[in-house]
Structure 1
Amino acid sequence: MVEEFGVKNKNWILDMYKKRHSWETAHIRRKFFAGFRATSRCEGVNSIIEKYVNSRYNLVEFIQHFNQCIDHIRWKEAQADLTSVNGKPSMQTCFEQLERSTANVYTLSIFYMFQQILVRAASMKVINMRQIGSYVIYSVGLDCTTNEMWHVFFCDIEMEFNCSCMRVESFGIPCEHTVCVLVHKDIDELPRSLVLPT
């Protein structure tokens, strides 16, 4: 586009391109990618395929090796499912009830990710709360400084949580700010609104 429109010498274009890492993230907020960026997803798949497929293969060899790759991926997935079904995680936080209910909802690997979030939530606290209509807005932070504050919107009627960090929309598991509000409200079971439908 830069070449097509003849703007490769424009300072504004050069400056925007240098800052692309900042504005790229803004465009994918609220989009669910399970924590992956498009490039990392491609790189991950490519690294698996290149273990099985070589550029010197003819079409028949390519298909045979590619099928072996697919079989390996399916075997790894089945192995992860088996581990998740039969594995019993150990509880590691003082929020054992919430932790245990989450272990019953998530797969083992997602539960271990959530456990780290639960540990971080223990260092957070609700600084302020205010009611606006049917919503309560909780201001959550590590301390009372306003430069490190997140806002969790809670609707009691629907047991719905939304955080200003938008991590649940992007990664599919609740953030430490939302978990801090759960703990603050003595909710010891993960609400269905915070679990992605299967």
Structure 2
Amino acid sequence: MTSTQRSESVNSTVKHGYCDNSTAIHEFAKSFLELLAHNKEKEAEEEFNSQAPVIASTFYGYDNQLSRVYTRAVYKVFVSRLKSSTAFRVRPDPDKAGYYMVKHTRPPTDFPWLCHEFWVKAVVNEEIPEESEFNCECMRIEHTGMFCPHLLCVLTNLQVAHIPSRYIPKRYTRNAREATPI
């Protein structure tokens, strides 16, 4: 939000909810302080709610891990993609180990791009989970930092228990604000 947009937003809020043209300056100051206090309360409530523990939506190991790491909003997007992943079928590539063909089971009407086949690379190291490697042909994880339904389908199929930390961007985590410069 630019400074002009923020200023206009505050002006609009003050004019429509806290005072009008006939308000005296001391009443305006009092109303403005109430507005600031109300905004701080809302921010504190949102902060508290985002830090509260989220119950995992499934019993998959990686789902349990991500429910504890992601913020509520990001976890909600993740759960939506996890649900979408149930519409795909996985077939391992007989020629290359660690490669899987992921294909949609029935063509959707709202997202035609889901009809394509995608190659997913998933090399799982159960001894040292941090060395596991995942990527998908759609490259959503590289672009947004979020898992795509294709990759989630393969992770579920392989019963992956742990996602390496390099695949969880700090901006999506509950402690993203820990090292914020002052």
Question: The TM-score by the shorter chain falls in which range?
Answer: 0.5 to 0.7
Aligned length: 138
Q: Structure 1 length as normaliser, TM-score?
A: 0.55
Decide whether aligned partners of structure 1 residues 91 and 166 sit closer, same or farther in structure 2, where only a CA change above 3 A counts: same
What is the alpha-carbon distance in structure 2 between the residues aligned to residue 181 and residue 155 of structure 1? Answer: 11
| CA deviation string 1:37-95 (max 9, x = no partner) | xxxxx69x8755421258xxxxxxxxxx9xx99xx5x8765543321212x334434x4
Decide whether aligned partners of structure 1 residues 76 and 119 sit closer, same or farther in structure 2, where only a CA change above 3 A counts: same
In the other structure, the counterpart of 1:183 is 156
In the other structure, the counterpart of 1:114 is 78
Question: 5+ unaligned residues in a row in structure 1: which ranges?
Answer: 1-41, 55-64
In the other structure, the counterpart of 2:123 is 155
* CA root-mean-square deviation: 3.5
Decide whether aligned partners of structure 1 residues 151 and 144 sit closer, same or farther in structure 2, where only a CA change above 3 A counts: farther
What is the alpha-carbon distance in structure 2 between the residues aligned to residue 174 and residue 168 of structure 1? Answer: 5
Q: Structure 2 length as normaliser, TM-score?
A: 0.59
In the other structure, the counterpart of 2:89 is 125
SS at match of 2:87: coil
AA matched with 2:145:
G
AA matched with 1:50:
E
Matches within 5 A, 1:46-195: 48-53=6-11, 72=39, 78-86=44-52, 88-93=53-58, 95-130=59-94, 132=96, 136-143=98-105, 148-156=116-124, 158-195=131-168
AA matched with 1:116:
S
Question: 5+ unaligned residues in a row in structure 2: which ranges?
Answer: 13-31, 108-114, 126-130, 171-175, 177-182
User: How far did 1:102 drift?
Assistant: 1.2
User: How far did 1:160 drift?
Assistant: 1.4
Identity %: 24
What is the alpha-carbon distance in structure 1 between the residues aligned to residue 4 and residue 92 of structure 2? Answer: 47
Moved over 6 A (4+): none
Decide whether aligned partners of structure 1 residues 128 and 195 sit closer, same or farther in structure 2, where only a CA change above 3 A counts: same
